[in-house]
Amino acid sequence: MLVNLNDVLIPAKKGKYGVGLFNSVNLEMARGIIEAAEEENSPVIFGTAEVLLPYGPLEELSYFLIPMAKKAAVPVVVHLDHGLRKETCLRALELGFSSIMYDCSTEGYEDNVRKVKEMADIAHSCGATIEGELGHVGNADDESNDPTQFYTDPEMARDFVDRTGVDALAIAVGTSHGAYKLPPKLDFERIETIANTISVPLVLHGGSGLADSDFRMAIQKGISKVNIFTDINMAAASAQKEALEAGKTGLTDLIPYTVEAVKKETMKKIKLFRQERFSTALGVEE
């Protein structure tokens, strides 16, 4: 069933669990994600990001992501992740995406507010939801990346949400995109303060490579949506390498390996984001 972010994140915030966003660039990844969500009987957020469009164009992805979401036995959001240009966000809405992120986090504060507010009004008029970002989540492979420089300020977050009308807010609390060189240190206190300051669900980007305990604590402190790409991307590539090493030679031989690897990694994350499974696994009382 195709739904928007509010449909899955408002219950997640109330129930103190996380819903995963998994980006895909092709049909194999999308199949792995949807199969994982259905097998876990869990809502899921299908995504693709503007920087990934060279690998899987938005329109082509929409041809299968949206029908797959509609057909699914679980609630599925089809979300544009890190929309960087107004035209890309508008195109996603036109194609039927149920949600967008308009990422103006590298712009000045007032420009971020103005642009996101304008896009929020458009998205809402289409029945879609919108995520904004305040502070900035950088890339792990960027030498100059220092996450502490761009942490989200709680009071600014309140003003941003009030003025833009976003449905969810991506916050910078120590994570980065891509494969970490050193384990990141998350500012859990900041997550808690922001969660107590604003009412909309909070989003943690750069989820790949975090420790299980990081997810557990981040969700407990107020994160409702966790974004994942690198871990499923790498799982797919490792599975293909394994298949080639096992003597498989054709593209059709690699497809089931790819789908299965993405499915397995997605299921692992879905289980982690559900706090009660987590608690049992770690022997922690709720």
Which residues in this chain contact ligand 13P in the complex, by CB under 6 A? 23, 49, 81-82, 177-178, 205-208, 227-231
Q: 62 vs 227, which CB is nearer to ligand 13P?
A: 227
Select from ligand 13P, Zn ion, none the partner in contact with residue 228, using the beta carbon and a kind-dependent cut-off of 5 to 8 Å: ligand 13P
DSSP string, 93-108: HHHT-SEEEE--TTS-
Q: Coil, helix or strand for 35?
A: helix
DSSP string, 48-101: EEGGGTTTS-HHHHHHHHHHHHHH-SS-EEEEEEEE-SHHHHHHHHHHT-SEEE
Q: 190 vs 243, which CB is nearer to ligand 13P?
A: 190
Kindly give, in sequence order, each residue whose CB lies less than 8 Å from that of residue 53, ignoring residues fewer than 6 positions away. Answer: 88
CA distance 175 to 136: 10
CA distance 214 to 202: 15
CA distance 30 to 144: 33
Helix 188-197 with 212-221: angle, nearest 10 deg: 30
> Which 8-state DSSP code applies to residue 16?
T
Residues numbered 210-239 forming contacts with Zn ion, rule: CB under 5 A: 227
Which of 7, 81, 111, 153 is catalytic? The answer is 81
* Structure token pair of residue 259: 């789908």
In the complex, minimum distance from the CB of residue 8 to Zn ion, in angstroms, rounded to a whole number? 17
In the complex, minimum distance from the CB of residue 81 to Zn ion, in angstroms, rounded to a whole number? 6
Residue 205 found at the interface with Zn ion (CB under 5 A): yes
Select from ligand 13P, Zn ion, none the partner in contact with residue 135, using the beta carbon and a kind-dependent cut-off of 5 to 8 Å: none
CA distance 268 to 47: 18
Residues numbered 21-80 forming contacts with Zn ion, rule: CB under 5 A: none
Select from Zn ion, ligand 13P, none the partner in contact with residue 193, using the beta carbon and a kind-dependent cut-off of 5 to 8 Å: none
Select from Zn ion, ligand 13P, none the partner in contact with residue 136, using the beta carbon and a kind-dependent cut-off of 5 to 8 Å: none
Task: Look at the alpha carbons of 122, 128, 132, 137 in this order and tell me if their dihedral is positive or negative.
Answer: negative
DSSP string, 202-217: EEE---TT--HHHHHH
* Structure token pair of residue 52: 């990934």
Q: Is 81 a catalytic residue?
A: yes
The catalytic residues are 81
User: Which stretches of the chain bind Zn ion, using CB under 5 A?
Assistant: 205, 227
